[in-house]
């Protein structure tokens, strides 16, 4: 299939969640993000989340790339009131700017100029409840700040961002865990709770300007949306947090990897990704095992399906997207769901993708 972005056919539904895994990398894969840059990424992400009406369910900011699990709800029925629009504008603009917009709205309302009022609204709402506009605004705002701070010009991101449509339920839960485990796979921490610039790290430790409530609410939605849970941090304590932590802490698996030895030469060694066994055992002793825990082993490896699978979910979900987007695929193709292989084989039969990744999947 062509690699044009695939948008959920039910994007305007109020019943069926629309979630995407988004990935963007720094140009030339250079390591550009330190602590200050990651804090700014989080600040701008939350600004655009509040402005746009989209929900960040999980995220991780690494040194040269970012991951987001983003839910894009439809606009509210009947649109935004003037007050609601002004409240959203305050997340991106200063009070003087918002006051000027408020004055224009009031003037046109009093004069009965409904067309002018609608045009003011549409000048902002086209950027709301949109995957592309969220990522565009968030990434552009960060790039502007980054270029000023580094006294540089030009593009920062390698290319347009990648996105994968993700089903709610086990697919969204597994995707969130894959995102939160990025710093563990990179060997930066052993416990994902220790990494400040991720949804789980923020949920467990909070940030400099908050107590992690926003991150906990997002993870609740990622883990439990299929059971009707909204993004509410009050559901985090207890079963939800325990179930998620068990997936994150499942012991890593052995795999072959190329490493540079002391002589500067590449050699192949068996490495183990994940937390140290005593730490894992201690956690698993006090937590009740879940049927989803086995997926934790797979998540210690890089799995291309999470970034290149286009659509991820149950077989029925992937086949439904295929049927509704039939014109996006070749004539000879009969169905949508493709079985996972390579490093994703542990999820075969549970998770499916719409792309059959034949090369470089393990």
Strands in 55-61's sheet, in edge-to-edge order, are: 55-61, 65-71, 19-25, 162-166, 311-313, 352-353, 338-339
pTM: 0.84
Q: Please name every residue paired with 254 in a beta bridge, in sequence order, or none if there are none.
A: 272
Which class does domain 19-75+155-353 fall in?
A: alpha beta
Q: Tens digit of pLDDT for each residue in 234-264?
A: 999 888 888 888 888 764 333 434 445 555 5
Written as tens digits, the pLDDT of the chain (362 aa) is 446 789 999 999 988 999 999 999 999 889 999 999 999 999 999 999 999 999 999 999 999 999 999 999 999 999 999 999 999 999 999 999 999 999 999 999 999 999 999 999 999 999 999 999 999 999 999 999 999 999 999 999 998 899 999 999 999 999 999 999 999 998 899 889 999 999 999 998 854 455 689 999 999 999 999 999 999 999 998 888 888 888 887 643 334 344 455 555 544 443 444 445 555 455 545 444 444 444 666 676 778 888 989 999 999 999 999 999 988 888 888 888 999 988 788 888 889 999 887 655 44
| Radius of gyration of the chain, Cα coordinates, nearest whole angstrom | 22
d(CA 20, CA 134): 12
Query: Which residues of the chain does CATH 3.30.70.1290 include?
Result: 19-75+155-353
In this predicted structure, what is the pLDDT of residue 209?
A: 52
3-state secondary structure 51-108: HHCCEEEEEEECCCEEEEEEECCCCCCCCCCHHHHHHHHCCCCCHHHHHHHHHHHHHH
């Amino acid at each position: 299939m062509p690699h044009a972005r695939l948008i959920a056919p039910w994007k305007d539904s109020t019943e069926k969640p629309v979630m995407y895994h988004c990935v963007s990398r720094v140009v030339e894969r250079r390591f550009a993000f330190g602590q200050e840059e990651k804090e700014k990424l989080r600040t701008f992400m939350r600004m655009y989340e509040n402005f746009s009406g989209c929900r960040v369910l999980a995220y991780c900011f690494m040194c040269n790339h970012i991951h987001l699990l983003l839910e894009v709800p439809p606009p509210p029925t009947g649109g935004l009131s003037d007050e609601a629009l002004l409240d959203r504008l305050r997340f991106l603009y200063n009070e003087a700017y918002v006051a000027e917009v408020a004055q224009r709205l009031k003037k046109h309302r009093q004069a009965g100029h409904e067309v002018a009022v609608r045009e003011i609204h549409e000048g902002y709402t086209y950027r709301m409840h949109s995957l592309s506009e969220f990522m565009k605004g968030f990434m552009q705002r960060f790039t502007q700040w980054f270029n000023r701070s580094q006294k540089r010009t030009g593009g920062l991101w390698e290319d347009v961002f990648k996105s994968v449509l993700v089903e709610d339920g086990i697919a969204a839960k597994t995707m969130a865990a894959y995102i939160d485990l990025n710093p563990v796979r990179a060997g930066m921490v052993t416990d994902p709770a220790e990494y400040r610039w991720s949804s789980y790290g923020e949920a467990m430790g909070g940030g400099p300007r908050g107590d992690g409530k926003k991150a906990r609410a997002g993870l609740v939605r990622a883990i439990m949306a299929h059971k009707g849970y909204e993004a509410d941090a009050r559901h985090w304590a207890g079963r939800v947090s325990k179930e998620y932590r068990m997936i994150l802490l499942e012991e890593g698996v052995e795999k072959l990897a190329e490493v540079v030895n002391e002589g500067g030469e590449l050699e192949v060694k068996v490495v183990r990704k994940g937390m140290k066994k005593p730490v894992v055992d201690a956690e698993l002793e006090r937590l009740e095992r879940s049927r989803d825990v086995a997926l934790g082993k797979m998540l210690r490896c890089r799995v291309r399906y999470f970034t290149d699978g286009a659509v991820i979910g149950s077989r029925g979900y992937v086949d439904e997207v295929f049927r509704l987007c039939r014109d996006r695929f070749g004539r000879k193709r009969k169905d949508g769901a493709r079985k996972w292989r390579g490093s994703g084989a542990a999820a075969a039969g549970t998770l499916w993708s719409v792309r059959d990744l034949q090369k470089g999947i393990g």
